[in-house]
Structure formats: structure tokens, C-alpha cells
Amino acid sequence: MIAIQTVALIGKGNVARALGRAWQNSGINIAAYCNRTAELPEGLEHQDAFLTSDPSKIPSDVDAILVAVSDDAINDVIQQLPSGPLVIHFSGCMPNPLQEGGVLWPIQSIAPDAEPTSNSYPIALSCSSSARNVLHKFAQLIASELHELSEKERQTAHLTAVFAANFTNHCFAIAQELCKRASLSWDLFQPIAEHIASQGFAGTSKHHQTGPAMRQDHSALDAHQKLLKEHPEFESLYQALTQSIQSFHHTPEKLKP
């Protein structure tokens, strides 16, 4: 195979819809759709495509099958696929279960209302050597950046992204909820949030840690613990983060794993 031109798309969630539209906009023909309801995913074009809820019924004459399902479902779905087409999934943390095929992981969160265009996504590529050239060409149709990573590197990158994005966003959400409960304006915290983000972008976050946990300021920590009795759902996270900061910064380097 010189290039992927015709594909089948499994799934109809955020990733399936966003990446499917991006590849359609780049000229890729989605000849078959497979999902639990055998429906056309929202925002995608039909073009007389084959619709099914059974992965084993996907036509075997497509160039590739795009498996855009939950991580828990990937292996089960792949085991049902017809032989022949190149199989591609999009998980950052799941391994490639096949010797052939590969993984294209978009290194960003994809929102339900995402409006992708070509060259929208930074993408990490892990694949077998035999599929490398074909997958490079296919990924470059929608990639703003393309990074070839080993399976271990990709999985570590996914873990890193969870800390950098998912956990950070959750902490912002908690901070915004505390503002709401106290009738404080979130605008008060924009400067400090932007300052912390700029240090993150510069890669110097470790050297700019501040706060009562870093200072081991027990009076402030105790005061926060008392206040958290009014917000018990956040108490265990506060304690875990406090312990993590102190362990990360105050444990001698030779004792760190």
C-alpha cells in the first residue's frame, strides 16, 4: 500500500467525530462506519457509506480501520476485525496489539464541539516498521506536528499529559468552585494562574514551587485543614498534594526512586 485513501471508522465519540471530520476535510473517504447504533456520527458525511454495529462486518477492502473507541474496548474490537486492512487506534496509553498497524495519539484534549481543520493536531506515532511510511503520510494530513515515539515513550507521554492537563484542569475546577461558594470573583486569580502557566511553558515549574506545603508552614496548613471541613470532598486531595509537594522537594535526591 502506497497511501491510505479509504477507511472504516469505528466509534462515534469526540475523537471519532473530530478526527473523522479532519481526515474527510483532507480528502480521505470514510467508506464504512461502525458503532453500537449503526448510525452516521454527527458532523460526518455519508457518501453511501456502509453502516454496521458489528466490527466483523466491516468491508475488508478498505485501506485502514480507525478504532476510535474507549481504551477498555480497544482489544476486544480489534479481535473482531477482518484481516487485511491496516488497523489504527488513538489511545495514548494502550499498546498496539498487532504486529502490523499502529497508534496515532492526538496530544491534546478533544472537546465535543471541536471544529477541526486540516493540520489541527500534534500527533504521536507508534507503529511497526513496515507501516511507518504509510502512517506518516496519513497522519501528516491532519497533524500540526508529528512525533514518532516508542510504545513506552508514548505511554509515558500520556501519563505526563494527564498531570499537565487533566489534573491541572481539575485543580482549576476546584478553585473555581471554591470561588463560587465564597462569592469571590475568579478574576482575582487570573494573574497568578497566568504566572504559573508561564512557568510551566518555560519548563521551570520545579524551581518555582511556593506555598505553605513547600515552606512546611504548619500554621497555614492547619488553618486550611479546618476550613476544608466545610468542603470535605476536597480534603483528601489537599492532603495528598501537600504530601506530594513535601516529598518531591524535601526528600534528599539520593533517597528518591
Written as one string, the DSSP assignment of 68-134 is: -S-GGGHHHHHHTSPSSSEEEE--SSS---SSS-EEEEESS---TT----TT-EEEEEEE-GGGHHH
Mean pLDDT, the chain, whole residue set:
92
At 139-148, the pLDDT tens digits run 999 999 999 9
Confidence at 255, pLDDT banded by 50, 70, 90: very low
Confidence at 257, pLDDT banded by 50, 70, 90: very low
At 166-184, the pLDDT tens digits run 999 999 999 999 999 999 9
How many domains does one find in the chain? 2
What pLDDT is stored for residue 251 in this prediction?
A: 72
Do 67 and 126 have their domain in common? yes
Q: What are phi and psi of 255, to 5 degrees?
A: -95, -10
Do 118 and 227 have their domain in common? no
Which of 119, 149, 179 is the C-terminal boundary of a domain?
A: 149
pLDDT over 60 at 130, yes or no: yes
pLDDT over 50 at 150, yes or no: yes
Give the domain range for residue 206.
155-250
Return the ∠ at Cα 132 (arms to 131 and 134), rounded to 5°: 70
What pLDDT is stored for residue 254 in this prediction?
A: 43
What pLDDT is stored for residue 119 in this prediction?
A: 64
Return the ∠ at Cα 7 (arms to 5 and 10), rounded to 5°: 160
207 CB-side CA count, 13 A: 5
Do 112 and 229 have their domain in common? no
Q: Rounded to whole angstroms, how far apart are CA atoms 17 and 249?
A: 42
pLDDT over 90 at 92, yes or no: yes
Nearest to 95 by CA among 161, 146, 151: 151
Do 69 and 186 have their domain in common? no
Distance of CA 82 to the CA centre of its chain: 27
At 6-38, the pLDDT tens digits run 999 999 999 999 999 999 999 999 999 999 999
**Residue 82 domain-assigned?**
yes
Confidence at 234, pLDDT banded by 50, 70, 90: very high
Task: Give the CATH number of the domain where residue 123 resides.
Answer: 3.40.50.720
What pLDDT is stored for residue 253 in this prediction?
A: 52
Do 76 and 187 have their domain in common? no
